[in-house]
Structures are given as C-alpha cells and as structure tokens.
Amino acid sequence: MKHFTKSNIKDLDKVKRLNIINSITGIKPSNLIGTINKEKMTNLAIFSSVIHLGSNPALLGFILRPQERVRRDTYNNILENGSYTINHLPENLTLNGHYTSAKFDKNQSEFKYCKFTEWYEDGFQAPFVKESNLNVGLKYQESVPIKANNTIMIIGSVEHVFVKEDAISEEGYIDLEKLKSTGIGGLNSYYRLRKINSYPYARLSELPKFSNERT
C-alpha cells in the first residue's frame, strides 16, 4: 500500500493534494442546495458535505468554505430569508449538477443555465429542484464556525420532505438506489448507489459467525 505522511501530503502538488484528501472520506452524498434572495434571484449549488445531525429535532448540516475567498451566494441567501432546500442529484443529471459549481454571476441563476426546474411549496420561500426524487426544505438555525480551517457548518431544521412514495418502506427506510440518487468521490467523480444488503439492529447476543475470507 502507498503510505502518505502528514509531511508527504503537505509537499504534494496542490491539485494532487486536493484530489487525495477529498477522496479519502469515500463516497459522499451529492446534493443540490437551492436558495433565493430578496430580489427573487435563485441560486443552485452542488454540495457533497451534507450530514445528518439528529432526528428529534430533525436537523441537517453542511459545510461552507471560507467566506472571504469567494462570494458565497448560498450563504448570503440563507441569511437573507432563512430558508433553503436540499435536493438529491439524480443519475441522469450529474453533468448538469456538476456545472452548478461554475462561477456564475450573481444575477445568473444556475437553475436556468444548468437546465433545472424550480418549484415551490406554499408558504415556503426557497426553490426546490423538480427533477430530484428527494427534496428537503429547511429553516436556518445557526452557523457554527470551525476554527481549524475557517469553514462554517450551516445547521437547518427539516420543515418539509418530499420523496417518491414507492421508495419508502413501511418502517421509513428510503431506498436510495430506487431514487437513483448519486454520490461524489473526490472533487468531480460521480457514482451510482447500489444497495448491498440490510441488516437487523446489532446486538452482541446475536453476533453472526463472520467469515474472514477476502475477495
């Protein structure tokens, strides 16, 4: 196996370092975050940092890069109106979703240029992505600064969830493969999701006899 020390990583070419460090976490969820400002200009941006923070209350978080380096329309819009959406990126639109990360001007909507369709829920300001098979509407709760690298975790409460009915089980499990949701490896590689299996709650008294065979 190739071994990288902290010193090795620091000395790598910038692009190679970015690619390696962004890949070592494994597959991350690919989501489109939809926002709108007070002038009704919409914004859509691809994120791979959305995480579950809790189910009661239902909270999700995501990470934003340092604000002072690049204009962050997503963050500014969230602070302006207090709402935003998280939308799963489907398999057939990974190219469109990827290019929402291009540096569009503030008065250019990624919805328009990357060919996504806005739709709205009554009483909720932020735009959802019509082409997505799972949409979440969130209310902004707080920003948590991460001092180690000057990033910010945005935390929102889940206000709405829209999901294809045939993809959710009686127990509430959502079949991401059936939704054709996708994942991101590194900065720009997109992956299909394939379910391997489902297992019961892990109890020590029911520990299986594991095989140590490796494939």
- Whether residue 6 is contained in a domain is answered as no
The H or E element that residue 136 is part of is strand 134-146
Confidence of residue 212 (pLDDT cuts 50, 70, 90): confident
User: For 67-87, how does the pLDDT look when each residue is reduced to its tens digit (9 = 90+)?
Assistant: 666 668 999 999 999 999 999
Tokens of residue 77, six digits: 């819009």
- Residue 65: what pLDDT? 84
The yes-or-no verdict on residue 111 having pLDDT over 70 is yes
Question: Which tops the pLDDT comparison, 69 or 9?
Answer: 9
Could you tell me the CATH number of the domain that includes residue 197?
Answer: 2.30.110.10
Least confident of 14-18, 45-49, 64-68: 64-68
Domain total of the chain: 1
Give the separation between CA 67 and CA 73, rounded to whole angstroms: 10
Sheet with 28-29: strands ordered across:
28-29, 182-185, 189-192
Question: Which tops the pLDDT comparison, 213 or 91?
Answer: 91
- Whether residue 75 is contained in a domain is answered as yes
Confidence of residue 153 (pLDDT cuts 50, 70, 90): very high
The yes-or-no verdict on residue 189 having pLDDT over 80 is yes
* Over residues 114-135, mean pLDDT: 98
- Whether residue 137 is contained in a domain is answered as yes
- Whether residue 33 is contained in a domain is answered as yes
The residue segments making up the domain with residue 135 are 26-206
- Residue 72: what pLDDT? 82
- Whether residue 148 is contained in a domain is answered as yes
- Whether residue 19 is contained in a domain is answered as no
DSSP label of 186? T
Tokens of residue 139, six digits: 């209310």
- Residue 215: what pLDDT? 60
- Whether residue 212 is contained in a domain is answered as no
Residues 6 or more apart whose Cβ sits within 8 Å of residue 151: 63, 64, 65, 66, 145
- Whether residue 195 is contained in a domain is answered as yes
